[in-house]
Amino acid sequence: MTRSLFSDLTLRDRTFSWGQQTYLMGVLNVTPDSFSDGGQFNTLESALNQAQKMVTSGADILDIGGQSTRPNAEEVTLAEELDRVIPIIQTLRQHSEFSQVPISVDTTRSQVAKAAIAAGADLINDISGATFDAEMLSTVAKLGVPIVLMHTRGTPKTMQTLTDYEDLTGEILQFLAARIQAAIAAGIDRRQIIIDPGIGFAKKTAQNLEILRQLSVFRSLGCPILVGVSRKSFIGQILNQPDPQTRVLGTAAACVSAIVGGTDILRVHDVAEMHDACRVADAIWRPCPIN
């Protein structure tokens, strides 16, 4: 695996040197209905405790989401999403131990993005590739922050009925290339764009596996790659594990495969376990030795 040619990204006092190591984005769902941990961290106290656990375990970014994007999830109102997300960002920023931890907000709404950045967030993670809200790209451009553009089809309510592709990898590449160009046209610096092929979003198990096998192809788009495989249903189907929280080892295997394919960021629930798996994988596959 060769060193990335992508420009480094700095968020607060953290520099992300793409290609040097795998970075971990810890999932903090402040929702009652997320597929894996719904209801576990939807109070300020529980969310703060989980954030502390993830940072101590090695999370490089905290990704806060107030709208479940699991298959068949119902959309929440703008007011409800804001009420879930903004207080936890404000609370984290009030604690010195989190003052320099990069915070991402998992949202498809430009108004949530704007409010979240004002509250202290640093990065927008949009599972729609900024297609759900026509104002998202221009808003992010004005805010001057990075954005993750993910591939999906339909909405969380409909996406698992939209899994027919003639050319899976080619169609995802085409979608992401178009979204990158749209972002640049809106005024977003290319160096602040991260792409995500959307594992589990409008994809069946075999298609998710194919994306992981073909992951290196996405490097041709010239942006760092984020991959989210953590606890997802394709792992449960392979292992016959209906409970998402029992899929930790399967997740580790998928994460290592993503590293071999050239991913830069892994979005995970089980930070401590994935931190160890990634350090070993990095020592094998990255060019810089671990001291």
Contact 267, 220 (CB under 8 A): no
Return the structure tokens found at 83.
């009420």
Task: Provide the pLDDT confidence category of residue 75 given band limits of 50, 70 and 90.
Answer: confident
Active site residue 203: no
CA dist 253 and 94 (Å) reads 36
Contact 39, 32 (CB under 8 A): yes
CA dihedral 178, 179, 185, 187 (to 10 degrees): -160
pLDDT at 246: 96
Residue 37 has pLDDT above 50, yes or no: no
- pLDDT (tens digit, 9 = 90+) per residue, 113-140? 999 999 999 999 999 999 999 999 999 9
Answer left, alpha or beta for residue 222, where phi above 0 means left and psi between -120 and 50 means alpha.
left
Return the structure tokens found at 260.
């071999």
Distance of CA 141 to the CA centre of its chain: 19
- Min mean pLDDT across 68-77, 80-89, 162-171 is at 68-77
Residue 5 has pLDDT above 70, yes or no: no
CA dist 56 and 270 (Å) reads 12
**At 71, is the secondary structure helix, strand, or coil?**
coil
Active site residue 53: no
Cβ–Cβ contacts within 10 Å for residue 259, how many? Answer: 24
Q: State what percent of residues in the chain have pLDDT above 70.
A: 92
CATH numbers and ranges of domains, the chain: 20-285 (3.20.20.20)
Determine which one of 203, 231, 232, 247 is catalytic.
232
pTM value is 0.93
Q: What is the mean pLDDT of residues 241-260?
A: 97
Answer left, alpha or beta for residue 154, where phi above 0 means left and psi between -120 and 50 means alpha.
left
Instruction: Please give the single-letter amino acid code of residue 185.
Output: A
At 61, which helix (H) or strand (E)?
strand 61-65
Task: Provide the pLDDT confidence category of residue 157 given band limits of 50, 70 and 90.
Answer: confident
Residue 160 has pLDDT above 90, yes or no: no
